């Protein structure tokens, strides 16, 4: 164990620390965090539209006034989660611009415009028929294939955003390209002119790239990236071995004091969140349930219960086994936050970090829980998660909301129960050692006072 820890601290931890501080990965993490409210509200809109009780769904379809609720819910989803790629282009661009100390909003606008340039919008045209008047061939307007502004275009948008955002930020840092206006000019106008040349250069470069791709027969940029890159990645991610590897890496990072969830957030958001969004799109299209068992909400519903390491189960085990004063104190402080999936008090207070006693259950409990949830989902005991629920939502409740089924709550309870059994012997051993230390200290104090 000591050799393993020394090897990890020497080779793996420094690399993980650099990855966690890499500006582009941080921008992806912060960008998705910014648009999370939109995704959550959109998820609940779709949950209402696809209400799990059929009799209620029939009332929605029967007519007014409940039909209004269905219309509102579906269109809220359409204007939020369905267009997650569009919002990601702005929010990630903003975060990237701020990391370079340039205008974040201007960067976000440039990355959004760059993403739209590559949508090939002039091949998707619709006739103008305002007021019943058909303008004919002269009135045809360009349109957007909105599929590529949602989860299906997410990888393309991420690539374009990171590249064009970096180019714009580097150009904006060049003082020779900044147009300075007199001091009397309003700040908003001055900022817009300072970004004029960097914006022009960046968007022109994107236009040139699109022209080259069109000449080579690849003008459907989003489709090609989706087919060649995103779909294979999503297929790979939607497998139990990859999920278990991800969980193992996350737990090992936490064990060494690194925020495993934050470090892996770019992967989870770019791939696993897209799998959740694909489930939502399938339901919106009329399917009875999602198509991807593994997705971002799978982790929150069945694996990260109480936080990374399934620490809700650890808290329950400590309730049964804690006799030492230190364990009782940590238990009393950390139990409340753990049931809202906040587990830093127990990870750093117990501690779990660099504690060889807890490394085995801390890794084993979430991995076993993932296998249980996957098997039960594959057996159709529970439907795949198809709604984004706030990560602070308590365990069991979050699983029910994510699937719309009570069975999901049962799976979460099974995982907690199994994980309690995994943690119990390790908690008992650690508590026994702490109790021995405390009794020795009391005996030492008593002897010194005589």
Give φ, ψ of 396 to 5 degrees.
75, -55
Q: What is the pLDDT of residue 298?
A: 92
Boundary of a domain, candidates 188, 220, 252:
220
Regarding whether 328 and 186 lie in a shared domain, the answer is no
pLDDT at position 413, please?
96
Q: Model's pTM, two decimal places?
A: 0.76
Q: Establish if 266 belongs to a structural domain.
A: yes
Number of domain units in the chain: 2
Q: What is the pLDDT of residue 82?
A: 85
Q: What percent of the chain has pLDDT over 90?
A: 31
Number of H helices, E strands in the chain: 22, 2
Q: What is the dihedral of CA 84, 90, 95, 98, to 10 degrees?
A: -170
- H/E element holding 125? strand 125-126
Measuring CA to CA, which residue among 71, 98, 240, 229 is closest to residue 160? 229
Same domain, 215 and 244: no
390 CB-side CA count, 13 A = 8
Cα distance between residue 46 and residue 273, in whole Å: 16
- Domain boundary, last residue among 185, 220, 255: 220
436 and 401 within one domain: yes
Asked if 341 and 429 sit in the same domain, the reply is yes
The answer to whether the beta carbons of residues 315 and 335 sit under 8 Å apart is: yes
Question: Distances from the Cα of 361 to the Cαs of 355, 357, 424, 432, 434, in angstroms?
Answer: 11, 8, 9, 17, 18
Per-residue model confidence as pLDDT tens digits over 173-218: 888 887 776 666 666 666 667 788 999 999 999 999 999 999 998 8
Q: How many residues does the chain have?
A: 450
Q: What is residue 300's DSSP assignment?
A: I
Q: Which residue, chain included where needed, has tokens 């509102």?
A: 72
Beta pairing partners, 149 = none
Give the pLDDT of residue 98: 92
Reply yes or no on whether the pLDDT at 116 is more than 90. yes
Residue 289 lies in a domain: yes
Q: Which residue has the higher pLDDT, 390 or 95?
A: 95
Residue 225 covered by a domain? no
Same domain, 144 and 269: no
Distance (Å, rounded) from C-alpha 111 to C-alpha 113? 5
Listed range (47-56, 244-253, 311-320) with the worst mean pLDDT = 47-56
State mean pLDDT over 14-36.
81
- Give yes or no: residues 214 and 244 share one domain: no
* Domain end position, chosen among 171, 191, 220: 220
Q: What SS3 class is residue 126?
A: strand
Shared domain for 161 and 30, answered yes or no, is yes
Q: Quick check: 369 pLDDT over 90?
A: yes
Does any domain span residue 255?
yes
- % of the chain beyond a pLDDT of 70: 84
pLDDT tier, 139 (very low <50, low <70, confident <90, very high otherwise): low
Say what the pLDDT of residue 272 is.
87
What is 307-339 written as a DSSP string?
A: STTTHHHHHHHHHHH--SHHHHHHHHHHHHHHT
The string of pLDDT tens digits covering residues 53-104 is 666 666 666 666 777 777 888 888 888 888 888 999 999 999 999 999 999 9
Residue with token string 């399934």:
310
**320: domain range?**
240-449
Q: Which helix (H) or strand (E) holds 92?
A: helix 84-99
Positive/negative CA dihedral, 209, 212, 214, 217: negative
184 and 103, same domain (yes or no): yes
Asked whether 426 and 361 are in contact (CB, 8 A), the reply is yes
Confidence of residue 362 (pLDDT cuts 50, 70, 90): very high
Average pLDDT, the chain: 83
- Burial-class residue 304 by CB neighbours within 10 Å (0-12, 13-18, 19+): buried
More confident call, 55 vs 229: 229
Q: What is the pLDDT of residue 16?
A: 66
Higher pLDDT, 196 or 111: 111
- List 125's β-bridge partners, or say none: 142
């Amino acid at each position: 164990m000591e050799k393993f820890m020394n090897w990890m601290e020497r080779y793996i931890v420094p690399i993980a620390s650099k990855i966690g501080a890499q500006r582009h990965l941080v921008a992806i993490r912060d960008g998705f965090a910014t648009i999370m409210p939109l995704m959550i509200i959109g998820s609940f809109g779709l949950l209402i539209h696809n209400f799990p009780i059929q009799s209620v769904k029939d009332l929605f379809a029967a007519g007014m006034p409940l039909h209004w609720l269905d219309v509102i819910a579906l269109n809220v989803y359409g204007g939020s989660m369905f267009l997650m790629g569009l919002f990601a282009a702005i929010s990630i661009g903003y975060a990237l611009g701020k990391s370079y100390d340039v205008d974040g909003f201007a960067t976000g606008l440039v990355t959004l415009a760059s993403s739209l340039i590559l949508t090939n919008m002039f091949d998707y045209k619709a006739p103008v028929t305002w007021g019943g008047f058909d303008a004919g061939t002269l009135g045809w307007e360009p349109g957007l294939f909105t599929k590529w502004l949602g989860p299906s275009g997410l990888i393309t948008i991420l690539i374009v955003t990171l590249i064009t955002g970096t180019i714009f930020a580097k150009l904006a840092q060049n003082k020779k390209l900044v147009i300075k206006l007199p001091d009397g000019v309003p700040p908003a106008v001055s900022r817009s002119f300072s970004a004029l040349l960097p914006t022009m250069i960046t968007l022109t470069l994107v236009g040139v790239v699109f022209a080259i791709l069109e000449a080579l027969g690849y003008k459907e940029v989003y489709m090609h990236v989706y087919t060649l890159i995103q779909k294979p990645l999503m297929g790979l991610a939607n497998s139990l071995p990859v999920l278990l590897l991800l969980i193992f890496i996350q737990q090992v990072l936490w064990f060494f004091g690194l925020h495993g969830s934050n470090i892996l957030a770019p992967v989870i958001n770019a791939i696993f969140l897209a799998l959740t969004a694909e489930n939502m799109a399938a339901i919106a299209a009329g399917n009875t349930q999602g198509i991807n068992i593994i997705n971002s909400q799978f982790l929150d519903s069945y694996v990260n219960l109480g936080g990374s390491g399934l620490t809700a189960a650890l808290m329950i085990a400590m309730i049964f086994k804690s006799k030492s004063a230190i364990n009782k104190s940590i238990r009393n402080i950390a139990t409340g936050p753990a049931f809202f999936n906040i587990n830093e008090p127990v990870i750093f207070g117990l501690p779990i970090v660099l504690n060889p006693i807890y490394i085995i259950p801390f890794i084993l409990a979430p991995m076993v829980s993932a296998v249980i949830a996957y098997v039960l989902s594959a057996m159709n005991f529970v439907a795949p998660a198809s709604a984004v629920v706030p990560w602070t939502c308590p365990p069991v409740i979050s699983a029910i909301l994510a699937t719309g089924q009570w069975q999901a709550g049962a799976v979460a309870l099974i995982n907690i129960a199994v994980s309690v059994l995994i943690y119990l012997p390790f908690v008992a051993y650690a508590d026994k050692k702490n109790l021995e230390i405390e009794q020795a200290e009391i005996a030492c104090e008593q002897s010194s006072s005589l």
